[in-house]
Amino acid sequence: MPNRDLLSALADWGPDGILSVFPRLPPGFLPGVPVVQLRKGPGAVVVAFDEQAIGKLAAEVLVATGCPSLATLRFTTESRGWMTGRREGFLRRARELGREPRIIPITLPANDDSLAAFVQGLRQLPKGPWAIFAGNDTFATWMLEACDHLGLQVPQDIAILGADDTPEAADQRVPLSSLRLPHAGLGTTGLAALESLWAGTPFRALTKLQPDGLVERTSTRRQATADPAVAAALRFINAHTDRAVGLDEVAAAAGVSRSTLALRFRATVGRTVKDEIDQARVTQAIEQLVSGRYTVTDVALAIGCSDSGHFTRMFRRVTGRTPRSYLPY
**CATH classification of the domain holding 73:** 3.40.50.2300
What's the pLDDT band for 329 if we cut at 50, 70, 90? Answer: low
**C-alpha span between 116 and 41 (Å, rounded):** 32
What's the pLDDT band for 41 if we cut at 50, 70, 90? Answer: low
Q: Could you tell me if 176 and 62 lie in one domain? A: yes
Question: 263-310 pLDDT, tens per residue?
Answer: 999 887 778 999 989 988 988 888 788 777 889 999 999 999 988 899
Q: Could you tell me if 57 and 176 lie in one domain? A: yes
Q: Could you tell me if 21 and 107 lie in one domain? A: no
Q: Could you tell me if 76 and 175 lie in one domain? A: yes
Q: Could you tell me if 126 and 234 lie in one domain? A: no
Q: Could you tell me if 165 and 186 lie in one domain? A: no
Number of H helices, E strands in the chain: 13, 10
Strand pairing category for 158-163 and 130-133 = parallel
Backbone angles phi, psi at 71, to 5 degrees: -155, 160
Q: Could you tell me if 187 and 172 lie in one domain? A: no
Backbone angles phi, psi at 292, to 5 degrees: 75, 10
Q: Could you tell me if 126 and 165 lie in one domain? A: yes
- What is the H or E stretch that residue 213 is in? strand 213-215
- Report the candidate in 72, 127, 129, 134 with the shortest Cα–Cα distance to residue 103: 72
What's the pLDDT band for 207 if we cut at 50, 70, 90? Answer: confident
pLDDT of residue 23: 61
Instruction: Domain count for the chain, please give it.
Output: 3
CATH number at residue 299: 1.10.10.60
Range of the domain at 203: 4-50+182-212
pLDDT of residue 249: 96
Structural contact between residues 276 and 269, judged by C-beta atoms closer than 8 angstroms: yes
pLDDT of residue 53: 93
**C-alpha span between 154 and 172 (Å, rounded):** 12
